[in-house]
């Protein structure tokens, strides 16, 4: 698994690069040749990635306000949603990151999703990079939190 694409909404990429090597850390966490879409199930991938985030000091299961909603990881005011589920969940991720941005819990949001081919290997209607990036562009006037979309491939 490796990063193959990024989309930077509201200069998220530039902003994350100013945060103590966090982009390099994300690249290291998300690059793992032992994890393969199609061979590994989404639960296996999530478990492996979670261990990698936790090993690097990222907090996990961050609550959004007083709700039961959570994002996956947080460090230095960067919130990460790692989405390998149904495409509909990406909208919830955008809303959760936007809310945390509005409440000054995060400065930057990151949503990590598989690329189109890798998404199809997991099944129909899974989150995927091209669709998410184009939809964030479409709603750019109402999404005020910088969000970096990261696409993963084998």
DSSP letter string, the chain: -EEEEEEEETTHHHHHHTSTTHHHHHHHHH--TT--BTTB-HHHHHHHHHHHHHHTT-EEEEE-TTSS-EEEEEETTEEEEE--SBTHHHHHHHHHHHHHHHTTS-SEEEEEEE-HHHHHHH-TTB--HHHHHHHHHHTTTT--S-EEEEEEE-
Question: Taking all residues of the chain, what is their mean pLDDT, rounded to a whole number?
Answer: 95
Cα four-point dihedral sign 126, 127, 129, 133: positive
Q: Write down all domains in the chain, each with its CATH number in brackets.
A: 2-153 (3.40.91.20)
- The answer on pLDDT for 121 being more than 90 is no
- The answer on pLDDT for 69 being more than 80 is yes
- The answer on pLDDT for 62 being more than 90 is yes
- The answer on pLDDT for 120 being more than 90 is no
- Quick one: pLDDT band at residue 39, thresholds 50, 70, 90? confident
Lowest mean pLDDT among 18-22, 40-44, 75-79: 40-44
């Amino acid at each position: 698994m490796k990063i193959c694409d990024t989309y930077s909404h509201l200069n998220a990429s530039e902003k994350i690069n100013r945060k103590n090597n966090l982009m390099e850390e994300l690249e290291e966490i998300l690059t793992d040749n032992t994890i393969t879409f199609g061979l590994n199930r989404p639960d296996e991938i999530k478990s492996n990635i979670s261990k990698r985030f936790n090993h690097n000091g990222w907090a996990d299961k961050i609550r959004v306000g007083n709700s039961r909603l959570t994002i996956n990881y947080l460090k230095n005011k960067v919130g990460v949603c790692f989405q390998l589920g149904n495409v509909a969940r990406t909208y919830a991720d955008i809303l959760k990151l936007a809310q945390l941005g509005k409440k000054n819990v995060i400065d930057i949001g990151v949503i990590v999703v598989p690329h189109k081919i890798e998404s199809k290997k997991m099944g129909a209607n899974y989150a995927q990079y091209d669709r998410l990036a184009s939809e964030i562009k479409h709603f750019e006037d109402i999404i005020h939190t910088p969000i970096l979309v990261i696409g993963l491939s084998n």
